[in-house]
Structure 1
Amino acid sequence: MSRLQIPATIADAPAASQPFLEAVNKKLGVVPNLFRLIANSPAALEGYLGLAGALAKGALPAQTGERIALAVAEINGCDYCMSAHSYLGKNVAKLDDAEMSANRNGGSNEPKAAPAVQFAAKVAHERGRVSDEDLRVLKEAGYTDAQIVEIVVHIALSVLTNYANVVANTEIDFPVVRTYQGSSNGTHTLLDT
Structure 2
Amino acid sequence: MPRIPVHTVDNAPAASEQNLRTLEKKFGKVLNIHGGMAHSPVVLATYTAIQGAIAEHGTFDARTREAIALAVGAVDDCSYCQAAHTVGAKAAGFTEEETVAIRRGDADVESKLAALLEVAREVAGEVGEVSDATWDKALAAGWTDVELTEVFAHVAVNLYTNYFNHLARTDLDLPAAPALA
8 A contact 1:2–1:171 mirrored in 2: yes
8 A contact 1:75–1:124 mirrored in 2: yes
Partner of 1:23: 22
How far apart, in 1, do the equivalents of 2:169 and 2:97 lie?
Answer: 28
Deviation at 1:98, TM superposition (A): 2.5
Letter in structure 2 aligned against 1:30? K
More helix by share: 2
8 A contact 1:115–1:138 mirrored in 2: yes
Partner of 2:113: 113
Deviation at 1:41, TM superposition (A): 1.9
Q: Spell out the pairing of 1:92-171 with structure 2 (5 A cutoff).
A: 92-107=91-106, 108-171=108-171
How far apart, in 1, do the equivalents of 2:140 and 2:5 lie?
Answer: 46
8 A contact 1:84–1:174 mirrored in 2: yes
Partner of 1:13: 12
Letter in structure 2 aligned against 1:32? L
DSSP 3-state at the match of 2:15 = coil
Q: Spell out the pairing of 1:32-43 with structure 2 (5 A cutoff).
A: 32-43=31-42
Deviation at 1:111, TM superposition (A): 2.6
How far apart, in 2, do the equivalents of 1:178 and 1:94 lie?
Answer: 17
Deviation at 1:179, TM superposition (A): 5.9
Partner of 2:66: 66
8 A contact 1:73–1:82 mirrored in 2: yes
Q: Spell out the pairing of 1:72-91 with structure 2 (5 A cutoff).
A: 72-90=72-90
Deviation at 1:128, TM superposition (A): 1.6
Structure 1: state its 5+ residue gaps. Answer: 181-186, 188-193
How far apart, in 2, do the equivalents of 1:50 and 1:84 lie?
Answer: 19
Structure 2: state its 5+ residue gaps. Answer: none
* Percent identical: 38
User: Mean Cα displacement is larger for which, 94-103 or 165-174?
Assistant: 94-103
- Measured at CA, do residues 4 and 159 of structure 1 come closer, stay the same or move farther in structure 2, by a change above 3 Å? same
- Measured at CA, do residues 179 and 13 of structure 1 come closer, stay the same or move farther in structure 2, by a change above 3 Å? farther
Deviation at 1:43, TM superposition (A): 2.0
Letter in structure 1 aligned against 2:95? D
How far apart, in 1, do the equivalents of 2:49 and 2:62 lie?
Answer: 16
How far apart, in 2, do the equivalents of 1:138 and 1:32 lie?
Answer: 34
Deviations 1:62-109 (A, max 9, x none): 21111111111111111111111111111x212112221221012451
- How many residue pairs are counted as aligned between the two chains? 179
Deviation at 1:56, TM superposition (A): 2.8
How far apart, in 1, do the equivalents of 2:76 and 2:176 lie?
Answer: 16
- Measured at CA, do residues 10 and 89 of structure 1 come closer, stay the same or move farther in structure 2, by a change above 3 Å? same
How far apart, in 2, do the equivalents of 1:152 and 1:106 lie?
Answer: 18
